[in-house]
Amino acid sequence: MKKNTVKSGTAAKIRKIRDILFSVYGPQRCFLDHASPFELLVATVLSAQCTDKTVNTVTPALFRRFPDAASLASADERELESLIHPCGFFRAKGKHLRALASELVARFHGEVPRTMEELTSLPGVGRKTANVVLSEVFDIPGLPVDTHVLRLSGRIGLDDSGDPVHVESVLCAALEPEHWRDFSHHLILHGRLRCPARKPDCASCEIASLCKSCGKMGEKKK
């Protein structure tokens, strides 16, 4: 990822939002249930365009049947698709999961690698997924940019590029690495609870005074 510079005013705004959201939501843990790096990697791939709640209902049976990379790599295509069907895009996700499991076995002895470059070389794994795995199970600083983080960054006025990599770079440039993971968690929670794509609750928003779109979203819906 290319390092970005961020205007001092924007950086100060990001840090103020960080402080407020931390006071509101406190420390957070990963929203996806997992017991190993392998389980988190698979769960995060499944979470694309799917709620974490749905993924968490699917993965217990999935991991009982396919507990490691070797068993997933040799999974029957239809059986795997049946297990992950509730997550949507089950055919594409099934192919990605079997392919990435095969790569884990062939290239990494069945273990999940610990670098961005190696993780993103796996089928179906982008920067968001890699950052989730690195920050959650390996304690390597990362700031996952999902749809909530991307939407709020533009709506609030932190970065309106619409490019997840650019948004990640801007937010990371403004914050110390030890705050990257929590800031992502807090933006995700705020996006779910206060600032969804439709009908954001501007009246109750704790960071309304720092948001360039405050009130305007509600006006558009009238």
Task: Report the CATH number that the domain containing residue 113 is assigned in CATH.
Answer: 1.10.340.30
Q: CA 155 to CA 214: how far, in whole Å? A: 9
- Which SS3 state, helix, strand or coil, does residue 36 take? coil
Per the domain annotation, does 44 fall within a domain?
yes
| pLDDT-based confidence at residue 4 (cuts at 50, 70, 90) | low
Q: What is the pLDDT of residues 182-220, one digit of tens each?
A: 999 999 999 999 999 999 999 999 999 999 998 775 444
3-state helix, strand, coil in the chain (%, to 5): 65, 0, 35
Rounded (5°) CA angle 12-3-31: 70
Quick check: is 53 catalytic?
A: no
Question: Of 52, 146, 159, 182, which residue is the catalytic one?
Answer: 146
Q: Structural domain of residue 155, as residue ranges?
A: 8-28+143-215
Rounded (5°) CA angle 193-53-141: 75
CATH of the domain at 154: 1.10.1670.10
Please tell me the pTM assigned to this model.
0.92
Q: CA 91 to CA 85: how far, in whole Å? A: 8
Q: What is the pLDDT of residues 49-80, one digit of tens each?
A: 999 999 999 999 999 999 999 999 999 999 99
Question: Of 52, 128, 159, 182, which residue is the catalytic one?
Answer: 128
| pLDDT-based confidence at residue 1 (cuts at 50, 70, 90) | low
Quote the number of domains for the chain: 2
pLDDT for 181: 97
Q: CA 86 to CA 93: how far, in whole Å? A: 11
- Which SS3 state, helix, strand or coil, does residue 52 take? helix
Q: Does residue 42 sit in the same domain as residue 129?
A: yes
Quick check: is 76 catalytic?
A: no
pLDDT for 2: 60
Residue where a domain terminates, one of 95, 110, 137: 137
Question: Which tokens in the block code for residue 13?
Answer: 């705004």
DSSP codes of every residue in 154-183: HHHTS--S--HHHHHHHHHHHS-GGGHHHH
Residue where a domain terminates, one of 116, 137, 158: 137
